[in-house]
Amino acid sequence: MKPYVLTLTASMVAISLLCTSATAAHDTLSRRLNLPMKQVAKRTETPQEHRWKLEDLYPNQAAWNAEFSRVKGLIGEISSYQGKLKDASSIASCFALDDEISLLTERLYVYANMRHHEDTAEPTYQALSDKSKKISVEVSEATSFITPEILSLSEQQLTGLIADPSLAKYKRTLEEMLRQKPHILSKNEESLLAQAGNVSQAPGTIFGMLNNADLKFPKVKNEQGEEVELTHGRYIQFLESKNQEVRRDAFKAMYDTYGKWKNTLASTLNANVTKNLFYAKARHYPSALEMSLFGDNIPQSVYDNLISTIHEYLPLMHRYMDLRKKLLKLDELHMYDLFAPLVEEFDMEISYEQAKTKVYESLAPLGDDYRKVLQEGFEGGWIDIYENEGKRSGAYSWGAFGTHPYVLLNHNDNLNSMFTLTHEMGHALHSYYSDKSNDYRDAQYTIFLAEVASTLNEALLMNNLLEKSTDPKEKMYLLTYYADQFRTTVFRQTMFAEFEKIIHEKAENGEALTPQELSSIYYDLNLNYYGKGMVVDKDIEMEWARIPHFYNSFYVYKYATGFSAATSFAKQILDEGEPAVERYLGFLKSGGKDYSINILKEAGVDMSTPEPIRQAMSVFEGLIEQMEQLTK
């Protein structure tokens, strides 16, 4: 199933949906939206031209019901292959049926849940969503025998199947099975590990309940002197206040609260690390990190290169912090000043029609064919545009193989919404080209690649806006917006990745992860990343306790690599023109027909080397230089 790519308003999280791979929910907007209050329309009041055309998936409910019944019947057929997957003919037939079931189930699931997202309070589509989830589970259970049964064959037999011409369509699937064979256990051991699955989710579940339901924060005073209860959602709003006292009080209240729970939270994080070590040892991986990277076949050198290369460029981050202090006119820059607006809010009212025009113009470097497909998306019922009562918040790109992609927005007439539009259309066109160029299996690209196309679109839009801007105030607003993307998506996520690596290595060496040890590691990393010119407040040592990403271990590095790869692509496209565009379009068309690292390398971005990160850093340095010029 296609990656389900979300854009949430206040956080960057990874989610797992049933029958989908976990994916990044890239936060294209990090700033508070100061929007006028308005009456939200009901779904029935939403004009047809503002809605996506889900009829392109199923013309009506009867068609969905008929396909649902068809899948039910096919589930019975697939079970007839159990115990018979010993030769090329039976395996080819089984794979073909498996693909048919999977594709139909994907269509059922995507349609039902997108209908549900149109109005989450509508009981008809709540029920349809639940029904699609149940059939997905049934399919997963019915087809679960296929991989273990094929892997029970000898290595010699598997090698023979890979070379068999009748299985050419499934060569990559079989090669991947052979690659994973050393880490697949006996049937009984696999069964035992499967039963332990619910237990292994406990650390993340407990953290989620504590963090989202049980933790209560005190009241703090806002800019008007009113006492307001601090919440996760309001925290960034407080940090974006122009009043430093408001920022400081919210910061201290947040981390004082986590500090009171430090023993419980350290135990929870420690349990998650212990779980990772258990699975790594059980499946014969050298380390938890290598186990995590194995799925995408990413060499550990990619992870290590990211950290070491970012360390080389920390002086750039320190320089940006010095500039931030100067722009804020502060004697001391504190951790709670990182989200304070550097320039007075610049009013950029951009209607949806204007946003489409600007996005279309900015993507001219990608060529006529790309923009033709983009226009088809704008006009062809791909996009659900505006908020309505009950509609799912945020934004995402999704879809099913065999039809065009879909994009859900909650558009507001501002800069953030325009960036969200180009971001999600980047995902959509990646899926479009991938589907058009590959069979079903090879069209499924990995999460390692998922954020590249979307972020590339953002980079080209920003470049276009900066080139056309003649107002120094507007230019500074854009530059600070973009520079903060580097700070939060590259530097901060790399710091998170380094923290994860350190604590897992310590645990693997038998060292205890006490709250004091976790806080010490985290504080020292902040000192290193932000530099001596900044006051690294002691309170920040507890930030590890509130990061949900740490329960989806070794995931956050993909934000930094994806952003770096996209920035590298953008630089090559703008510098080289047509040759770089052809390589990039080749990347979009590659889907998942090869390993992610190879697909990027073929397109001119070799993430096994530091070069793409260095190219991204050269762009970041250019932003700082422009900002410094404007402040003279």
Kind plus residue range of the DSSP H or E element containing 323: helix 314-328
Burial class (CB in 10 A: 0-12, 13-18, 19+), 71: buried
Place of tokens 């890979």: 162
Measure the CA–CA gap between 498 and 515, rounded to whole angstroms.
18
| Contact between residue 513 and residue 506 where contact means Cβ atoms under 8 Å apart | yes
Q: Tokens representing 523?
A: 């504080």
Q: Tokens representing 323?
A: 């500039």
Return the number of other C-beta atoms located less than 10 Å from residue 93's C-beta: 14
| Contact between residue 418 and residue 355 where contact means Cβ atoms under 8 Å apart | yes
DSSP tally for the chain: helices H, then strands E: 26, 8
Asked if 49 is an active-site residue, the reply is no
Residues 6+ apart with CB under 8 A from 163: none
Strand, coil or helix: what is 597?
Answer: helix
SS3 labels along 349-400? CCCHHHHHHHHHHHCHHHCHHHHHHHHHHHHCCCEECCCCCCCCCCEEEECC
What distance, in Å, lies between the first and last C-alpha atoms of the chain?
Answer: 52
Q: Of the listed 106, 424, 500, 543, which one is catalytic?
A: 424
Q: Tokens representing 436?
A: 């058009």
Strand, coil or helix: what is 122?
Answer: coil
Instruction: Return the active site residues.
Output: 424
